[in-house]
Structure 1
């Protein structure tokens, strides 16, 4: 089971992306828990995630999240703005899986 956490400004803008990622995971036969939260809740939820992806509109917070993520060994990155804008669930899922595999 892969646990993929997405963080965005309010927790709402990534909900469609989460749905598309879940569809892509199911199509690939990957068991995954994928959820999105607002930035203030992400610091708590990161403890149960395998990877944290940050919405492009929050890239300025990467350093703040990195401090916690590095301490607990959770990889993180900013979601590609093009994939985010296109709501390309498969591309974002692939990036998350790559980060998990390389941790």
Structure 2
């Protein structure tokens, strides 16, 4: 099975980077092998157009107002999209966010 890629997007990709680390820790502990990274919402178009486009996109809650705009782009690319639960984001619950991503991928 090909390695799945999970992309988190927020305003600048900074705060989401901390959550990525938590998700990677969960991923490693569970013996899974996802590529997980954070980026700015301004880079979503470029990432979706790349040959290594993500398998799922999760938006930080602070950019949930952009969901409709980004949803049109992810739909066109055939990539599922959701907004990260605010509590999971605030508490840095990487395990819960990883479960959300997995549910969208499968």
Q: Give TM-score, length-normalised by structure 1.
A: 0.95
Q: Which runs of 5+ in 2 are unaligned?
A: none
- The structural deviation recorded for 1:90 is 0.4
Separation in structure 1 between the aligned mates of residue 77 and residue 12 of structure 2, nearest angstrom: 24
- In the alignment of these two chains, the number of paired residues is 101
Q: Which runs of 5+ in 1 are unaligned?
A: none
Secondary structure of 2:13's aligned partner: coil
What residue in structure 1 maps to residue 36 of structure 2? Answer: 34
- The structural deviation recorded for 1:43 is 1.9
What residue in structure 1 maps to residue 56 of structure 2? Answer: 51
- The structural deviation recorded for 1:46 is 2.8
Separation in structure 2 between the aligned mates of residue 46 and residue 35 of structure 1, nearest angstrom: 13
Q: Give TM-score, length-normalised by structure 2.
A: 0.92
What residue in structure 1 maps to residue 68 of structure 2? Answer: 63
**What RMSD in Å do the two structures reach over aligned CA positions?**
0.8
